[in-house]
Every structure is written in structure tokens, then in C-alpha cells.
Chain A
Amino acid sequence: EVQLVESGGGLVQPGGSLRLSCEVSGFTFSTFWMNWVRQAPGKGLEWVANIKPDGGEKYYVDSVKGRFTISRDNAKKSLYLQMNSLRVEDTAVYYCARDLSAAGNFDFWGHGTLVTVSS
């Protein structure tokens, strides 16, 4: 059974940092592109970043470029999102999602982890 489990969310002040993790099981992690997608409270979905299976390519939405870093450890079957210089508008549930097609079909999602940026 495919499972993705996020952790690391919490309350952080503006300007602070947080590192999210996503541990996966039930599939060969090292062969799939992986993504982070977020959802602000009561709002729609926003794709944040993705990473190639070998970690050699990474892409970001403009609003997080230079502040967030996506990475992965294939040996640990884990995906990460390092978030620096956090802003109030980064408040959201952050989901990790597997990419079915290596280019934007998100077929399995974790349950999400809530990040709240507030003073």
C-alpha cells in the first residue's frame, strides 16, 4: 500500500524557518518525481516545488524561490522542504504528492502537515 506521511509542521514566527519531511512506503521512491503542494486555510491548491528522482532537477513556484529548498534522500525514502524567511502568507497545509507521470499528475498524497506563520 502506498503511504506518504508528512511531519514537521507547526507554529513559527514571520522570518523563521521550518523543515518539513515526508516519509514514503509502498513504492520505489527513487524512481518517482515528488512534489510539495500547499493549501491555505479555506483556499485552493497551490503547487510549491518538485524534484527529479535523482535530485538533479528542482523547480519552484515564484513566490517561494530563494526561500524554500526541496530535497530528498532516496536511501531513507524521504522528501524534505526547508522553508526559510517564512511569511504570514505561507500559512497552509503542506502536502507531499507523488507524480504519476514524471510531469504533473499527482496520484498519491499524504495527509498534510499544517504550517502556521504568525507572531
Chain B
Amino acid sequence: EVVLTQSPATLSLSPGERATLSCRASQSVGIFLAWYQQKPGQAPRLLIYDTSNRATGVPARFSGSGSGTDFTLTISSLEPEDFALYYCQQRSDWPPFTFGQGTRLDIK
């Protein structure tokens, strides 16, 4: 099973700042990594799939990069609605599909 480790666990930033979230895989997942956003009481929302493809309706300030075992989600300039939980997920080696433990993005 592929284990995904996200860092940091919590990131405290201010609106307008740049956010960089990391996800490391226990083995290569190629480009088959996705990012999800989850707000309290809501279902997750797909942001990025296959490393760098934005899902429908996702603002351009969200971007993804990486390959193999190291991946990054970047939010170029934080908006108030971006403060949430973020999960990475791999689909390279399944079953099972696996998720990281999450990064909480807090307002500083």
C-alpha cells in the first residue's frame, strides 16, 4: 500500500500570501496524484488531478507540481475561502486508493 505523508500538518498564513503544501509518497506514483480541499461539514472537493490538471471550476491560483514521490500544491495568493483542510491522494497503485493525513491551512 502506498503511504502518503503530508507536510506541514498545519500551515498558518495570511490572506494574500503564497501557500506551499507538500505530499511525499512511500513509492513512486508517477504523475497519478490528486489534491482535494475540504471545509468543515462539507464533502471534499477535487482541486487538482494527475499532478497538475485543475478540475472544472477551480481557480487558477491553485497549481500542482511534482512527479514520482514528491508533490506540491501551491496557492499563489490566498483568498479567505482557501482556509481549509487539504488532502493528497494517489491512484497509481490500487486497490486501495490512499490519501494523505491532511494539511490544515489556518488564517494567521
Binding site for B on A (CB under 8 A): 35, 37, 44-47, 50, 59-62, 95, 100-101, 103-107, 109-112
Inter-chain residue pair count (beta carbon < 8 A): 67
Contacts of B101 in A (CB 8 A): 44
Pick 13 A–B contacts, CB within 8 A, sort by A.
A35-B97, A44-B102, A45-B36, A47-B97, A61-B95, A95-B43, A101-B50, A104-B34, A105-B49, A106-B36, A107-B55, A109-B43, A109-B44
Chain B contact surface mostly? loop
Instruction: Please name the 10 residue pairs, one residue from A and one from B, whose CB atoms are nearest each other, closest first.
Output: A104-B91, A109-B43, A47-B97, A59-B95, A105-B49, A45-B99, A61-B96, A104-B97, A107-B46, A44-B101
A59-B94, A110-B43 given; A100·B49 CB < 8 A: yes
Q: Does B64 contact A (CB under 8 A)?
A: no
Binding site for A on B (CB under 8 A): 32, 34, 36, 38, 42-46, 49-50, 55-56, 87, 89-91, 94-102
B89 touches A104 (CB 8 A): yes
A104-B89, A104-B91, A105-B50 given; A47·B43 CB < 8 A: no
Whole-angstrom CA separation of A44 from B4 in the bound complex = 12
A105 touches B34 (CB 8 A): yes
A62 touches B55 (CB 8 A): no
Whole-angstrom CA separation of A44 from B91 in the bound complex = 17
B99 touches A46 (CB 8 A): yes
A101-B49, A105-B49 given; A111·B43 CB < 8 A: yes
Contacts of A104 in B (CB 8 A): 32, 34, 89-91, 94, 97
Contacts of A47 in B (CB 8 A): 95-99
Closest CB in chain A relative to B100 CB, distance in Å: 7
A45 touches B87 (CB 8 A): yes
B87 touches A44 (CB 8 A): yes
Closest CB in chain A relative to B52 CB, distance in Å: 13
Whole-angstrom CA separation of A81 from B105 in the bound complex = 33
